[in-house]
Structure 1
Amino acid sequence: MIGISEKQNTTINKLTDYDFNLGIAGYKYSDLFDAVKLCEIAEKFYGEVKKENPILHDALTKYIANRGAGYERRVESKILTDSAPYLSEFIAGMFDINCEREDLQRAIGEQDPIWKYKFFVQRRAIKRFTAENLVNFNEAELTLALEEFKCAAFDQTLIYDEESAIAFITQKLTQAEEALTKNLEITPEIQETLNKIKAAYDQLKDKTFGKVFSHFVLESEET
């Protein structure tokens, strides 16, 4: 019968057959299965965090020292989520997959408008447009108005699927709304959005979009 130590040696021998250098000088892949070496690598990670964000490093090391005991869930969550980008970068460097990590970040970033759109629906649209008043909306008319507006103002979204297109447009509109209502700086990007809205209305004022838009503006002013 093979003893525990023999099993460990067998595992290590198999690892060394496929071993390679890590992106951390002086360490190999097999070192990740060595408790002492793994601890050294972890300390290098903590050192990177300390260099980049001393306050987070202090919070993280205290959390680890206490094994999370006594921490409120929100505090615990913030420490871990704030640390995650540093860990992601460290691991990417360790396995030399920085390019792949950047590709993944870009892919995730492309989904940002969708998440912001869902947040908008949950926090604002659902509260304003209840099931009771939605029955008064003409779905076909709204769909046509949206399609007209999309083609006139944001034709770059025509290559997107419907959800992504609406999410992109909503993000642009809410950014412009926030800048106007909060008296924020009108950036070139926001000014471009405002110009597109005006041009689209001038083009579509006698069409379905113009009718729906004007009705909504009048209704909003009354409330």
Structure 2
Amino acid sequence: MTVDENRRMVDVYRNLAGKYDIVSNRLYVVGQRTMAYKHLAVQQLDLKPGDTVVDAGCGTGHNLPLLSKAVGPTGRVIGVDLTDAMLARADDRVRQHGLTNVTLQEADLTRFVFPKDTAGIIACFSLTLIREFGTVIQHGFDALAPGGRFVALDYKLPRWWPNFAVPAIGPMVAPFGGTLEMVRRKPFEEVARHAETMRMLERYFGWVYVAVGVAGDRSTV
């Protein structure tokens, strides 16, 4: 991300951090089941005890207890986020749940170095906010162990939504730092490009997707 874009997103999420969970929960009023989608995404990682998993754009840490339980006390969970205020909320969650196998790191995901032979990477509603999401996905697959999974949970335009109605989405994404340009981004295509196999699960009438990419053996690439 550019310096200006980083600064803008940090400002947005510093202001949003204290009320992020409340704002997110309001989406339930319009039928979205955000935590159900996150549970589904975590399940698709197919984590085992002792695995290392990265939560790329962990926000306030909703996924961290789920990931911690999945990898067990011998596993490792790394939560990464751009914004210090969001990580502070995540740290509160880590402490409240007594998660001893979780570490948090403040970093731009486009520059973050994923640990080698990582078993899983999950990105929930974070990739479309990053102009260079392809760089994040490529670096993630470069670090995944063979058979490891990159799971992206995000929004997309459903096939049935007309182009003339795209501007109507602006007010809905603006509180989360979204723009109309971001609405048209398709990280799932990049997951498919790097994965040996990929499948898509759609929810909320096609607005929400979970892309599950399985890494091949990149030592021969």
Q: What TM-score comes out, normalization by structure 2 length?
A: 0.22
Q: Which has the higher contact order (CA 8 A, sep 6+)?
A: 2
With structure 1 as the length reference, what TM-score do the two structures score?
A: 0.22
**More helix by percentage:** 1
If you compute each CA radius of gyration, which structure gives the higher value, 1 or 2?
1
